[in-house]
Structure 1
Amino acid sequence: MSNSCFKVKKPENEPVLTYDKESSERMNLKLKISELKQKHYEIPLIIGGKEVHTGQTQECIIPHNKNHVLATYHMAGEKEVKLAIEAALEAKREWSKMPWQHRASIFLKAAELLAGPWRTTLNAATMLGQSKTAHQAEIDSACELIDFLRFNVYYMSEIYSEQIISTNESWNRMEYRPLEGFVFAVTPFNFTAIGGNLSISPALMGNTVVWKPSGSAVYSNYFFMKLLQEAGLPDGVINFIPGSGSLIGDIVFNSEWLGGVHFTGSTEVFNGMWKTVGANIDKYRSYPRLVGETGGKDFVFAHKDADVDKLVTALIRGAFEYQGQKCSAASRAYIPESLWNEVKEKLISEVETIKVGDVEDFTNFMGAVIDKKSFDKIKGYIEYANNSNEAEIIVGGNCDDTIGYFIEPTIIATKNPFFKTMTEEIFGPVLTIYVYEDNKFEETLNICNESTVYGLTGSIFSQNRKAIVEMENILEYAAGNLYINDKPTGAVVGQQPFGGGRASGTNDKAGSKLNLLRWVSPRVIKETFNAPGSYRYSFME
């Protein structure tokens, strides 16, 4: 066994490729897209390193071309869920005892594979399966996921190096043990990087994982699972089991060995998990760690001294990139009356130039929303606003699911700051704007702070430092990630660790040491060199 104290190179964020018109990366990406479209994959469960076919299947389709089936994936039943738990517990014996530098090497190798030969595969799979443009895929399934792999390893080494004070008489040591049991990772459709990180961050710290990916992201998540296997991840460390959330959850939450939950999804589902864990608390060998990033109703708040051009750009990018299907997407905005005419004119003019369509056409800014259920939900909100006397659709509003699930970028203006589309999460390309009187700046800030249950992201716009300070103070708990003069999306690993409070989650900050600390159970060891030989103290003489 090595007797060295190893150091990990401090990472730099992975450079974002631009996919310019004549670039080699653009050509290679288009070739990979064509290759994947021509092949139909049969995606198995992966339990203990073995492929499992259950015969109960669902299809992976292209959201912007809903009749094109990319793959068929097998779904876990009760038997397979129990096998996955057993495989995780069995693998834990060796994995948790593996020297940390060897765990680190596996994930650093995965990062290098993703940055190199696997990059086009993950990006193409994300574009096809989740309807992301080349840029949105690149910043997600390539750059962010590479950053998670590299930065997590670096943060792990920092955690392990943090030790407690010793004395001449005793040596005090801190161990960072993995949790007792397994971790249940439940991941969303909208970011391939989140799907990866929710499973790899607990695993890096010595835990083993049962991973239930979103049915709408099985396609890209499967390729990442295969990448991890190529990087040398031992069998059973991460067990890949697509399937019904309720079926899988019922079995997992009844296991005495549930050590933690790593979740991204709706507030409603996470609340249900929390209640189930509470009801089952006497069954568990330890208190499960519950880490969740949930819903958001993210805001942009403009002061009268805001730069209008930058504000308009932030509203458009924040609300409509990836069809507004980001937990951090700008969904509500507060604009002062003195700026409204100029903002409105520029917003309408710019939004009308946005192209929506097949992401293989690189001139399109937006693709399709993820599926029929989302399409119908978003369309329902647009129709509600269209039929209300409290709101007006000032641009967009058209929906068409003939070929794919396409919704125009839509902006609603309302006279009511508590209007339904100002307070409820929509998760689509819909931005609602409330125009406030300039002299009601503070009053409107308080409305922004109190009108929703969420606290994920937000942005404030002003060139006036006094106003910025006031906005920061009043909106202290309204956003776990607050942006000044920028859109409320685009958190970068290592630069803006991500997470919010209130009904937006446990705010454990993915992309930082804070998140990794949730996946360890520290043990303090005190070794005394010359222990007392009598129980008597000197004051007793």
Structure 2
Amino acid sequence: PYRDVMNAATMLGQSKTAVQAEIDSAQELVDFLRFGVDYANQVYQIQPESMKNVWNRLDYRPLDGFVLAISPFNFTAIGGNLPAAPAMMGNVVVWKPATTSILANYYFMRILEEAGLPKGVINFVPSRGSQVSEVVLTDPRMSGFHFTGSTSTFQTIWKTVGENIASYKSYPRLIGETGGKDFVFAHETAQVDKLVASLVRGAFEYQGQKCSAASRAYIPASLWEEVKAGLVEETAKLKVGDVRDFRNFMGAVIDKAAFDSITSYIDYAAASEEAEIIAGGTYNDSVGYFVQPTIIVTKNPNFKTMVEEIFGPVLTIYVYENDKLEETLEAVDTASMYALTGSIFAQDRGAILHLERRLSGAAGNFYINDKPTGAMINQQPFGGSRGSGTNDKAGSVFNMIRWTSPRVIKENFAPTAEVAYPFMDAE
């Protein structure tokens, strides 16, 4: 029954469709827990060499203090993993869930307790962000911070930790996955129908409220008219409304602040001479914070909606001339401060290899002929660099090992009784 409860809570609290809720609060959350145990075991298997009469071993201790986990609204699975991963490695955790996802997170906490989690290991503390900053972040016993959320919030927290660094018992581990301005780059050999489907799904599933959502796309002029027709046609088919109606592809965005922010970008594009809205562009908050899936085409590769994270159902497209490939790749790599996810579409193997190398620093999760969303535990460990986080790869052994403080132990079974070294007897 808890599967249904978690799905319902995620649908109700976060406005996810049934499919998106099932993928998140049931499947991915379970995968985080199941594979997390395996990753912990992989950590324990990392041991040094031992020689004759000497046993060397690594003792994987928890951090010297507690871990603070601050989770986002958009994924119940991430909300569960942020406190669970450090706890699996023996740490005590203070967990502050997002105020807009408390219901699903509360039920997950109940599941943990019913499963036998001892009291005090994970401490579920719904609260305002300022309360955490004032009390928990400055506590001398804070030894680790596990975060998913906005880049600005993570930077503020990092600054707070830096200002208080002399007061901590140990240097806190800061692990964060933050924002993204995720791209789709189409080569002239891309398959148009596959590209269109991936753009629509990648940009508009869960209202674009994924840090991995396709938010900017680069389409060659030779394919543009066909791609444009496909995008307009497919986007027009998307239904937006109550997530209890399974015919709806999208629900509402999370709250008024998000609605106001997203619609301000749409209004900006509508008023700009550098942009044209070719699909959507409308919104209504009379019965819910509903934003229609919106596609913007711009003449400027550095247009505001090509650079800034929007976190909503807005895709901006730049159409590049086929002979301007290298200049456009430079724009992909440098236009945004983020480097979380990105994807390329091409059928030419040489082009794929070139794009993969040229954009090696542009995304921590890089997809070829696929949308930039949908990373799966144990298949595509998730995380990015630059302004997108510390790239410690949630759902992997790389993340789990960060929650340990290894102690090296050497046991000598044949200790010497001599003080002098053999060379000292030389004439």
By the TM > 0.5 criterion, same fold?
Answer: yes
Counterpart code for 2:421: Y
The aligned amino acid for 2:309 is E
Q: Check if 1:318 corresponds to 2:199.
A: no
Work out which of the residue numbers 344, 366, 386 in structure 2 matches 1:460. Answer: 344
- 1:345 alignment partner in structure 2: 229
Amino acid of the structure 2 residue aligned with 1:510 = A
1:433 aligns with 2:296: no
Tell me the residue number matched to 1:237: 121
2:138 pairs with one of 254, 261, 269: 254
Residue 426 of structure 1, CA deviation: 0.1
Distance 2:229 2:45 in 1: 55
Say yes or no: does 1:483 pair with 2:367. yes
Q: Distance in 2 between matches of 1:462 and 1:162?
A: 39
Instruction: Quote the Cα distance in structure 1 between the aligned partners of 2:386 and 2:307.
Output: 14
**Residue 192 (structure 2) pairs with residue 308 (structure 1):** yes
Aligned residue runs from structure 1 range 349-428, under 5 A:
349-428=233-312
CA distance in 2, matches of 1:172, 1:261: 30
1:430-453 Cα offsets, whole Å, 9 max, x none, are 000000000011110111001111
> SS of 1:472's equivalent?
helix
Q: Distance in 2 between matches of 1:294 and 1:163?
A: 32
Distance in 1 (alpha carbons) for counterparts of 2:285 and 2:75: 23
Distance 2:295 2:346 in 1: 22
The corresponding residue for 1:211 is 95
Displacement, 1:324?
A: 0.1
1:534 deviates by: 2.6
Match of 1:328 in 2: 212
Q: Which residue of 2 aligns with 1:37?
A: none
Match of 1:186 in 2: 70
Cα distance in 2, alignment partners of residues 328 and 199 from structure 1: 21
Matched letter for residue 327 of structure 1: C
Do residues 295 (structure 1) and 195 (structure 2) align?
Answer: no
SS of the residue corresponding to residue 153 of structure 1 reads: helix
Residue 535 of structure 1, CA deviation: 2.6
What amino acid does structure 2 have at the position aligned with 1:291?
I
SS in 2 for 1:518: helix
> Using CA pairs below 8 Å that are at least 6 residues apart, which structure has the higher relative contact order?
2
Alpha-carbon distance between aligned partners in 2 of 1:242 and 1:513, rounded to the nearest angstrom: 29
CA distance in 2, matches of 1:225, 1:436: 49
Deviation at 1:537, TM superposition (A): 1.3
TM-score, structure 2 length as denominator?
0.99
Structure 1 residue runs without a partner (length 5+): 1-116
User: Among the aligned pairs, what percent are the same residue?
Assistant: 64
Partner AA of 2:184 in structure 1: V
Q: Superposed, which structure 2 residues align to 1:140-219 within 5 Å?
A: 140-219=24-103
Q: Counterparts of 2:409 and 2:235 in 1: how far apart (Å)?
A: 61
Aligned partner of 2:164 in structure 1 is 280
Name the SS for the 2:237 alignment partner.
Answer: coil
Q: How many residues are treated as equivalent by the alignment? A: 425
Q: CA deviation at 1:159?
A: 1.4
Query: Shift of the alpha carbon at 1:416?
Result: 0.0
Q: Note the C-alpha offset of 1:169.
A: 2.4
Distance 1:169 1:278 in 2: 45
Shift of 1:343: 0.2
| 2:323 partner SS | helix
Q: Which amino acid aligns with 1:227?
A: I
* TM-score normalised according to structure 1 size: 0.78
Tell me how far 1:256 sits from its aligned partner.
0.9
Deviations 1:165-201 (A, max 9, x none): 1011211011110101000000000000000000100
How far apart in 2 are the matches of 1:158 and 1:244? 36
1:395 Cα deviation (Å)? 0.6
Q: Deviations over 1:280-313 (max 9, x none)?
A: 1111111100000000000000000000000000
Would you say 1:534 and 2:418 are equivalent positions? yes
Following superposition, the deviation at residue 331 of structure 1 comes to: 0.1
3-state SS, counterpart of residue 352 of structure 1: helix
Letter in 1 for 2:250: M
1:394 deviates by 0.5
Report the AA paired with residue 185 of structure 1.
A
Q: Residue type matched to 1:415 in 2? A: K
Q: Which amino acid aligns with 1:411?
A: I
CA distance in 2 between counterparts of 1:276 and 1:248 reads: 11
Q: 1:126, CA displacement in angstroms? A: 0.2
Q: Distance in 1 between matches of 2:131 and 2:47?
A: 42
Match of 1:499 in 2: 383
SS in 2 for 1:534: coil
Task: Quote the residue 2:10 is aligned against.
Answer: 126
Q: How many angstroms does 1:254 deviate by?
A: 1.4
Find the aligned partners of 1:396 and 1:196 in 2 and give their Cα distance: 34
* Aligned with residue 442 of structure 1, among 326, 329, 333: 326
Kindly report which structure 2 residues correspond to 1:54-69, keeping only aligned pairs within 5 A, or say none. none
Supply the AA of the counterpart residue of 1:434: Y
3-state DSSP class of the match of 2:277? strand
Q: Does 1:510 align with 2:387?
A: no
| One-letter identity of the residue aligned with 2:185 | F
How far did residue 162 of structure 1 move? 2.3
Deviation at 1:530, TM superposition (A): 1.8
1:221 equivalent to 2:84? Answer: no
